[in-house]
Structure 1
């Protein structure tokens, strides 16, 4: 039987059963409270560099289908669940969760109290940790010492590690052209644009202003992605130039933070982030509350922006900013995921708002 252990930087130890690959990994340990959508979460590039804990008790029960992937492969460093289903039953299932993670070199641990782990992360904040799967034995004392000196992945420019390496075009005969700055984009963002008959030109995150403008775009979208937005220095500089040219700009998740930094604002790290499918967000103008899908560990400080900007959405739980818009220019962004996948599709209309801004 494969065994596994999760050791946090505070010295706490969680022993359980191992699945997936036999490996030792480190990363930022975070939790997601969604009841469904584990293939989407596992393939979401925003989780790059992180060990993901699912709070829903049963994971893997409907197997794995590439139909629901948000990128070509798993992006997490490790996986933590209460119970892993080894015999899934679903018409679309192509393989088990165990086999999928094993094929991609990702270790998992099951049989631990994920509720207790999540409570610890909520109280103390997200922590760095080591996840190891093994067959015979491991040196627990050594792991505890190693856990005290884990490199923080957020100190790296994670966007540069997940962005596309080449320019890709989708729906070449679309009515309008949107350049998508790929900071770790989820595939459903592209699908949401294409089904609105938009031509999408997906470019690496470090693409310069001149190259972006060479596609004669009607607008530019800054995607979601992993890590600290302040590390995306090249993208921030390019977005500043786009704003100087009054190009319509739309940011999603990390893109919201990059747009804010380009506008002279500031961002900060949340204690334990928002990673779920039921985050309530209030639209400031109408007072209407939308249930949103979210995955971020950083947020915008709206008070740091000039009076030319105004909050668009606010989180009903902790009052953090969930979107901004300029009072007179075509620049908007949201912190949540209007493309969902997984989660509610209540805010997919945001894409139509951006298309309207482009006119």
Structure 2
């Protein structure tokens, strides 16, 4: 493990002109993305390797980051996906028996530009009031006005399709642990490694398919159920996966979606989606499961949401759709259910992350609910 590197000056400029100065952290250079903040006190390795953060610059609200280094067991994908990283007080030397490299070294090795020594409390309050926005971080530019020009010329998240950039290019299979009970076709829109792992623990063999998969590709694995994963980008910019899902619903295949999979489920049912002002990110968001009345502490990472009526059922060509989960902070739709004319559950989704890596395990029951759906529907 390398000793702490000498840090050069760095600047961060938001698209509204607010600027922060600090020290370089990770790779030298310049990067752009959407500035968002994450409220998790732990799990930075899982956050960094979550494909849902593609093209986003993540601001950590926890003041101390990097204390446990980086290991080889906890990544949620094969690489770091964030466009940039903002921390207040980085650990000088990591301390964990599982650590294989420092966070600083990992960021540098993968070319991720970051900034440290920033007043992340002030930055978070700014984003909390003004909303997520484009941002630039540079260790090569000293003039904030010049960097602002490049920030304003960078791409926005709204209207951008990104799942094809993070998805697997080849299908692969995650076998069931123990006796196989079900076969699931999982569309990789930015899937996290813990999702097929949790399915495997329940006897599910998961066929992970590229984002470009067709309904014929799904049917070819003779699935007992269809799963859509989390992922980055604007759901309104995605059409092929919505058409695939509509075909699967028409064919009567049980469905479970999380995060991006919830947004696409909403669009498949005829609802719209919209961009949240600052989104939900972190591992401490309260959500009510309206089907049971229980409140869960949940892990979130989303900047878009489904526009569906909170009360009453909406008739669709596939059945009646209702909002099953709601965020207790702001009443954002956090889950949908689809039932047939007899009231039987056909498909469901949640906006948050029941695989929760890192995060609480309150919502792990949803994988059991999916198994119950597949068992009862076949």
Whether the TM-score (by the shorter chain) exceeds 0.5 is: yes
RMSD of the TM alignment (CA)?
1.3
SS in 2 for 1:123: helix
Match of 1:327? 339
Structure 1 stretches of 4+ moved >4 Å:
none
C-alpha separation in 1, matches of 2:335 and 2:199: 19
C-alpha separation in 2, matches of 1:242 and 1:187: 24
SS in 1 for 2:153: coil
**Is residue 152 of structure 2 the alignment partner of residue 152 of structure 1?**
no
Q: Please, which of 239, 243, 256 is the counterpart of residue 250 of structure 1?
A: 256
Match of 2:189? 183
2:309–2:323 CA contact under 8 A, matched in 1: no
**Is residue 44 of structure 2 the alignment partner of residue 46 of structure 1?**
no
Q: In the TM superposition, what whole-angstrom CA distance separates every residue of 1:58-95 from its partner, at most 9, and x where no partner exists?
A: 00001001211000110000000111112010010000
The structural deviation recorded for 1:123 is 0.6
1:32–1:276 CA contact under 8 A, matched in 2: yes
Q: Please, which of 97, 102, 106 is the counterpart of residue 103 of structure 2?
A: 97
C-alpha separation in 2, matches of 1:186 and 1:110: 27
Q: In the TM superposition, what whole-angstrom CA distance separates every residue of 1:272-301 from its partner, at most 9, and x where no partner exists?
A: 000011111111133211110110001111
2:158–2:275 CA contact under 8 A, matched in 1: no
Match of 2:231? 225
**Is residue 279 of structure 2 the alignment partner of residue 267 of structure 1?**
no
The structural deviation recorded for 1:153 is 3.8
Q: Please, which of 305, 313, 318 is the counterpart of residue 325 of structure 2?
A: 313
Q: In the TM superposition, what whole-angstrom CA distance separates every residue of 1:77-119 from its partner, at most 9, and x where no partner exists?
A: 0000111112010010000000000000001111111011011
Match of 2:240? 234
C-alpha separation in 2, matches of 1:33 and 1:158: 24
C-alpha separation in 2, matches of 1:98 and 1:249: 40
**Is residue 145 of structure 2 the alignment partner of residue 141 of structure 1?**
yes
Q: In the TM superposition, what whole-angstrom CA distance separates every residue of 1:319-347 from its partner, at most 9, and x where no partner exists?
A: 11110101224110001111100110111
1:292–1:340 CA contact under 8 A, matched in 2: yes
1:63–1:90 CA contact under 8 A, matched in 2: yes
Q: In the TM superposition, what whole-angstrom CA distance separates every residue of 1:105-164 from its partner, at most 9, and x where no partner exists?
A: 001111111011011111111010111124xx6333311222222211443310010011
**Is residue 357 of structure 2 the alignment partner of residue 345 of structure 1?**
no
Structure 2 matches for 1:28-47, cutoff 5 A? 28-47=34-53
1:178–1:199 CA contact under 8 A, matched in 2: yes
1:330–1:358 CA contact under 8 A, matched in 2: no
**Is residue 89 of structure 2 the alignment partner of residue 58 of structure 1?**
no
C-alpha separation in 1, matches of 2:78 and 2:11: 28
C-alpha separation in 1, matches of 2:326 and 2:143: 46
C-alpha separation in 1, matches of 2:289 and 2:157: 33
SS in 1 for 2:114: strand
SS in 2 for 1:67: coil
C-alpha separation in 2, matches of 1:285 and 1:16: 48
TM-score, normalization by structure 2: 0.92
Give 5+ residue unaligned stretches, structure 2: 1-6
SS in 1 for 2:302: strand
Q: In the TM superposition, what whole-angstrom CA distance separates every residue of 1:214-238 from its partner, at most 9, and x where no partner exists?
A: 1100000000000111222111110
SS in 1 for 2:139: strand
**Is residue 165 of structure 2 the alignment partner of residue 161 of structure 1?**
yes
SS in 1 for 2:335: strand
**How many residue pairs are counted as aligned between the two chains?**
357
